[in-house]
Amino acid sequence: MNNTDKNTSIAFLHHSTGKSIWQGGNSYLVKIKGKLGASSAVEKWFSKYNRKNGVNYQIREIVFPKKDPYGWKNYPFDYYNIWVKNGDELYYKEEPTLKTLTIDSDVIIFKHCFPVSRLSDEKEGDINSDRKTITNYKLQYEALYAEFQKYPNVKFIVWTPAALTESKTTVEQAGLTRQFSNWVKEKWDKPGDNVFVWDFFELETEGGLYLKEEYAVNSKDSHPNDSFARKTYPRFCQYIVDVIENRVE
């Protein structure tokens, strides 16, 4: 261990793309999990790691935000809206703010669904706007970063944006998404802080602009397929452990 607590509580906030990785490509478990109580691939990975290394890293999933009453939206504006703009409350529209989440979470992981990549390039920004523009995203991310610094003992992990297939986007939108992803990694994230970036966009695109078709459910569905999820979830788990054990900045 690298000066880290052996007992660590991890909260993974996600929707459908996150669910695919959580289940590790076993899409059928999404339907039967509640009935059979089957553990996800991520949970099984951590159970095995805990036994082998004598630690107790407990990871749980949280659907965030829920469809009702807030709405099925998890874009930069929504995290800003819940955690920063309304961050003085314990809950906003029944969604936990960081005041609540940090009570029992040592690591908080959050992500965006792939419509986050339907970006436009408007120069004038408005931090309180839910328009998907690169300027708005940057303003909202800067506000989130400042909020995260209020919780120095909590580690925050964000995924770079989920990509779209080529048929579901444009060259301009895809280019802006890569530009934003690069900004998050190279400018927004800073060494030595409590914020970490898992480069999901790069895994999906392999250096390109689009979700590779062999990684998608199909050319018109930008959810990752089971094959991609099976090879990606161990990387996700290992990255979380590397963050906990202070192997990444």
Render the burial of 134-164: b for 16+ CB within 10 Å, e for the rest. bbbbbbbbebbbebbeebeebbbbbbbbbbb
Identify the CA nearest to 137 among candidates 105, 172, 182, 192: 182
Query: For 214-232, what is the mean pLDDT?
Result: 94
**pLDDT digit string (tens) for 8-43?**
999 999 987 888 899 998 765 555 454 455 689 999
CATH numeric code, 11-244 = 3.40.50
Q: Annotate 181-195 with DSSP letters as a single string.
A: HHHIIIIIS-TTSSE
Q: What is the pTM of this model?
A: 0.93
Instruction: Specify the range with the lowest mean pLDDT, choosing from 28-37, 76-85, 140-149, 162-171.
Output: 28-37
Beta carbons within 8 Å of 16's beta carbon, 6+ residues apart: 113, 223
Does 190 score more than 50 pLDDT?
yes
Identify the CA nearest to 197 among candidates 148, 129, 132, 128: 148
Q: Going by DSSP bridges, is the β-strand pair 91-92/95-96 parallel, antiparallel, or unpaired?
A: antiparallel
**pLDDT digit string (tens) for 46-99?**
999 999 999 999 999 999 999 999 999 999 999 999 999 999 999 999 999 999
